[in-house]
């Protein structure tokens, strides 16, 4: 037989009420969250900007080497150009390709880097392959500090023998 302790009995009653109160509070919060969670209304709004004007997008980078070299092809080619022209590099040609478009090419640095109008410049020969069509170009690119190389001049070249 259990001894009846009035203090312990009171604590059990308070504990049960507190547990019931916590459960009730949790249920109320859950119900309120579910009830208000779906209370959104969206209204179609007319744009204040004419539809012919595009905003919030990054302009497509245009290659100064060839009009056929665009988008991801130019991004990959530009990375190879930056590596090939690096004056601390080994001077070897750097190849690139885009398996999605089958466009590929390479850049070979020509001569040593030189300074022109406070920019570091270097000549290059580029080979671009667009399927069965090839283009050979020669040019020069320059940069300021550690920025990317920017093609300054480019012209068609004969395929080296």
One domain for residues 21 and 97 = no
Tracing tokens 């001049």 back to the chain, one arrives at 153
pLDDT (tens digit per residue) in 37-72? 555 555 555 555 555 555 556 556 678 889 889 899
- Do 109 and 90 meet the contact criterion of CB atoms below 8 Å apart? no
Which residue range(s) make up the domain with 109?
Answer: 71-156
One domain for residues 77 and 26 = no
The pTM of the full predicted model, rounded to 2 decimals, is 0.62
One domain for residues 23 and 85 = no
One domain for residues 81 and 152 = yes
pLDDT (tens digit per residue) in 71-115? 999 999 999 999 999 988 888 999 999 999 999 999 999 999 999
- Cβ-proximal residues to 130 (8 Å cutoff; 6+ apart), any chain: 68, 103
Task: For residues 108 and 21, give the distance between their C-alpha atoms in angstroms, rounded to a whole number.
Answer: 77
Alpha helices in the chain (DSSP H): 6-37, 71-85
- Cβ-proximal residues to 12 (8 Å cutoff; 6+ apart), any chain: none
Express as a percent the part of the chain with pLDDT over 90. Answer: 45
| pLDDT over 80 (residue 24) | no
Q: Is residue 41 part of a domain?
A: no
Averaged confidence pLDDT in the chain: 80
Domain count along the chain = 2
């Amino acid at each position: 037989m259990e001894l009846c302790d009035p203090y312990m009995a009171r604590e059990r009653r308070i504990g049960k009420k507190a547990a019931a109160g916590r459960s009730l509070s949790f249920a109320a919060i859950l119900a309120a969250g579910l009830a208000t969670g779906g209370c959104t209304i969206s209204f179609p709004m007319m744009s204040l900007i004419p539809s012919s004007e595009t905003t919030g997008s990054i302009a497509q980078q245009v290659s100064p080497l060839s009009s056929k070299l665009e988008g991801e092809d130019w991004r990959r080619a530009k990375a190879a150009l930056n590596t090939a022209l690096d004056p601390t590099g080994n001077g070897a040609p750097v190849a690139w390709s885009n398996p999605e478009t089958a466009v590929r090419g390479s850049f070979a640095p020509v001569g040593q880097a030189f300074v022109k109008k406070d920019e570091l410049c270097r000549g290059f020969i580029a080979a671009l392959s667009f399927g069965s069509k090839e283009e050979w170009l020669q040019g020069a690119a320059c940069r300021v500090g550690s920025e990317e190389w920017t093609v300054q001049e480019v012209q068609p070249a004969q395929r080296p023998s």
